[in-house]
Amino acid sequence: MKLLAPLPWLAAFEAAARHSSFTQAAQELGITQGAVSIQIQRLESTLESPLFVRKARSIELTEIGETYLRRVRGALTSIRHATEELFEHDHHQNLSISCYSPSFADLWLAPRLPSLYADFPNIEVTVTVDYQLASPQSAQSDIHFTYEDPAHAGSDFVALVAERLVAVMPSDKHGGLPIDWSKLPLIETAGPRASWRAWFEAAEMVPPETRIIKVNSMQNALALACAGSGVALAARPFIDPFLENNMVTALRPDIEISVQSHGLYKSGLANRSYFVKRIAQWFFEKAGMSHINVL
């Protein structure tokens, strides 16, 4: 018995098993349904073992077929990764990134893109920001950064940036607080972040009698604070450069409210190419999380 099956037979077997259909496997591979059927029959004949149970309208893996599938899938994945790793450098690589949060896209992702381009000279990046993309299942991009509560997201979620809300306002010319900040409007971001009520409770302060301005982006809230339009709740570490440059000043630096985190679901990378996983690994390392490995 010849134990080395031709690669097209193995590819047809893996695709048919994944789709539970010879027809869909044929569509994916760009060949006819009959060709898929013949290749799998030849594979079964060579192995002297049935891999599928054929039914009237469907196919199912046999017990040995399920075991063989795990080995074949791992081997095909290794071949694909080796090919991409060794030969992709001569070609432009397109990478699509989606972000739930515009603040994350503008204040964390954007400053890191120059380093990404330096490390991957042939990469072409498309970035999309969409509040509707709240989960990797709803995203069509290669890499999707979402915004979750790590306590409820599960072990599959890797938190890259944990937000801590602080109250900031425009600095005076010496980088200090305005004399009477209590008369300034309070600016807060609508959505899953904490409100001013939570901040005043944590600070054990009575809220002043002033107007509240609601915006739909934390970056918009920060821009208003920098412009002198009010006191904003904004998240560290995004605003650290603004604090360091005295563009804004923290009202109570000792009060930080932990909220949700920006990150990735590892399961969203499971079926991605080796190239995409390399980029995800790069982001993990830039976030100080090199112990996470998705390669």
pLDDT digits (tens, 9 = 90+) for 201-245: 998 988 888 888 888 888 888 888 888 888 999 889 988 988 888
How many Å apart are CA 106 and CA 9, to the nearest integer?
47
Residues 185, 186, 189, 195: what is their CA dihedral angle, to the nearest 10 degrees?
-160
Instruction: Check: CB of residue 237 under 8 Å from CB of residue 220.
Output: no
Cβ atoms 131, 105 nearer than 8 A: no
- The pLDDT, as a whole number, for residue 117 is 92
Over residues 126-148, the mean pLDDT reads 75
Q: Which residues contact 172 (CB under 8 A, 6 or more apart)?
A: 178
The pLDDT tens digits of the residues spanning 11-69 come to: 999 999 988 999 988 988 889 999 999 999 999 999 999 999 998 888 999 999 999 99
Q: What are the Cα distances from residue 136, in Å, to 86, 223, 249, 279, 295?
A: 28, 30, 36, 16, 18
Beta bridge partners of 262: 147, 161
CATH number for the segment(s) 92-161+261-286: 3.40.190.10
State residue 153's pLDDT score: 83
Residue 190 confidence class, pLDDT cut points 50, 70, 90: confident
For residue range 109-132, what is the model confidence (pLDDT) as tens digits? 999 999 999 988 888 899 998 766
Q: How confident is the model at residue 73 (pLDDT cuts 50, 70, 90)?
A: confident
Share of the chain above pLDDT 70, in %: 89
- The CATH homologous superfamily of the domain defined by 163-258: Periplasmic binding protein-like II (3.40.190.10)
List where CATH 1.10.10.10 sits in the chain: 7-88
pLDDT of residue 116: 93
- What pLDDT score was predicted for residue 139? 56
| 3 CB-contact burial (10 Å; exposed 0-12 / middle 13-18 / buried 19+) | exposed
| Assessment of whether the complete model's pTM goes beyond 0.85 | no
Could you give the percent of the chain with pLDDT greater than 90? 28
- For residues 183 and 202, the model is more confident at 202
Q: Is the pLDDT at 2 greater than 60, yes or no?
A: no
Residue 180: count of CB within 10 angstroms of its CB: 8
- Check residue 127 and give its pLDDT: 92
Residue 177 pLDDT: 55
Task: Find out whether 221 and 234 touch, Cβ atoms under 8 Å.
Answer: yes
Average pLDDT of the chain to the nearest whole number: 84
Residue 34: predicted pLDDT: 92
Q: List every span in the chain annotated with CATH 3.40.190.10.
A: 92-161+261-286, 163-258
Classify domain 7-88 by CATH architecture. Answer: Orthogonal Bundle (1.10)
